[in-house]
Amino acid sequence: MPDTATISIIANGKSYQVQPGSTIPDFLSRLQLAPYRVVVEHNHQALTPAEMKKQALQDGDNLEIVKVVAGG
């Protein structure tokens, strides 16, 4: 029986269980990723940092997370 206290999302092809009402920054924190160091695509749509801050995760959401690397 599925745990009704969590929702299921996919991030970079891997399944995760998160608490209902979790935001993308909450999830990034769980992965030990700083929101300002990544670009996030939510359900095939790239998000701005402002959009990412307020985006609550829903059951079945799909995230692609790419680390930003600076260099020269």
Tens-place pLDDT, residues 28-66: 999 999 998 999 999 999 999 999 999 999 999 999 999
Question: Is the pLDDT reported for residue 14 higher than 70?
Answer: yes
Torsion of CA 44, 47, 10, 68, to 10 degrees: 110
Question: Is the pLDDT reported for residue 71 higher than 90?
Answer: no
Question: Is the pLDDT reported for residue 6 higher than 60?
Answer: yes
Q: Whole-model pTM?
A: 0.86
